[in-house]
Amino acid sequence: MKPETIARLLSLNSTFYQSFGPAFAKTRLRIQPGVRRALQEWVPSGGRWLDLGCGSGALGVEWAASGRQGLYLGIDSSAALLDEARRETQGLATPDLEIRYEPGDLAGDWAANCEACFDGALCFAALHHLPGDELRARVAQQVRVLLPEGGLFIHSNWQFQHSPKLLARVQPWERIGLTDADVQEGDTLLDWRSTLPGQPEQVGLRYVHRFTPEELAHLAALTGFEIVETYESDGQGGRLGHYEVWRAV
C-alpha cells in the first residue's frame, strides 16, 4: 500500500474518533462478551497490563470491579475518548491497583513512552483500523518488545461479514477519493450512524480491515508470537468478533 494511501486512511479514522468520540463512547458502555471471556480465562488477577486502543474506559471499569491488582495502562489516540475514560474510572484505583491513561498513536512510536515491560497486552477492536501489512506488523513487534517470553497478547478484530447490518454500511472507496486498486483485499470503508436524544443523526466514515485466519497466523509468526487460542464472540449470533490469544516466544 502506498504511503499516501496509508496516511489518508489513518487521517480518516483519526478524524472520526476525534469528531464522534462522545457519541461513540455511548455505544461502548460495557465490555463485550468475548472480552469478558478473555479476562476470565487468560488474564490473572495481578500484574502489569497494557490496553491498546482503550477507548472510553469500559475495560478499566471492569478491571477495577473484578478486584485486579497491579497496573492497568490504557493507550488511545483520541483525546475525547481518553477524557471519557478518565471520568469513568475516577476514584476506582486502590492502593493495590493503578489505573492510568496515556495518549498514544498506534501508527506512531507509542511504545517509546512505555517505561517498563508488561505481563501482557490487550488490543480489542483496534488492530483492524491500521492499514497495511507493514504497519500492523510494526505494532505487533512493538508489543513483543514490551513482553517477556511467555507474555500474552490478546486481541480481537471485527468479522463484519457476519452482520447484514454492517455489510449494508459498506461504502465505495470513491467517497474518499480512492479506488479498489489503492487498497488491499479485506480493506473496507464503513459508515457509522448514531442519534443521541435531542440531536440530529451523526454520520461518519471509518476504515476497517477484515482479517483472514491465514493473515493473522502469518502476522503472529512474523512478529515473535505463537497462537494458543482463537474463538468467536459478540453480536447477534456470537460471531462479530474474532479473538486470538498469542504467546511471546
Report pTM: 0.92
* CATH fold label, 3-160+210-248: Rossmann fold (3.40.50)
Domain coordinates in residue numbering, the chain? 3-160+210-248
Chain Cα centroid distance, residue 164 = 22
19 or 237, greater pLDDT: 237
Are 132 and 1 in contact, with CB atoms under 8 Å apart?
Answer: yes
Name residues whose C-beta falls within 8 Å of residue 248's C-beta, 6 or more positions apart in sequence.
144, 147, 148, 149, 150, 151, 152, 153, 224, 225
- pLDDT digits 0-9 by tens, 65-84: 999 999 999 999 888 889 99
pLDDT in tens, 235-249: 889 999 999 999 999
Q: How confident is the model at residue 26 (pLDDT cuts 50, 70, 90)?
A: low
Instruction: Provide the pLDDT for residue 116.
Output: 73
d(CA 99, CA 76): 14
**Cβ-Cβ contacts under 8 Å for 66 (sequence gap 6 or more):** 39, 45
Angle between helices 33-42 and 58-65 (to 10 degrees): 40
User: Are 81 and 21 a contacting pair, CB within 8 Å?
Assistant: yes
Helix (H) or strand (E) holding 171: strand 170-171
In the prediction, which pLDDT does 133 show? 96
pLDDT interval class at 98 (50, 70, 90): very high
pLDDT of 30 reads 84
Q: Residue 48's pLDDT is what?
A: 96
- Gap between the Cα atoms of 59 and 192, Å rounded: 22
CA torsion, points 44, 45, 50, 54, in degrees to nearest 10?
110
| Whether the predicted pLDDT of 201 surpasses 80 | no
pLDDT, mean of residues 107-114: 88
* Sign (positive or negative) of CA dihedral 39, 62, 225, 9: positive
Residue the block writes with cell 468478533? 241
Mean pLDDT, residues 54-58: 92
DSSP for residue 200: P
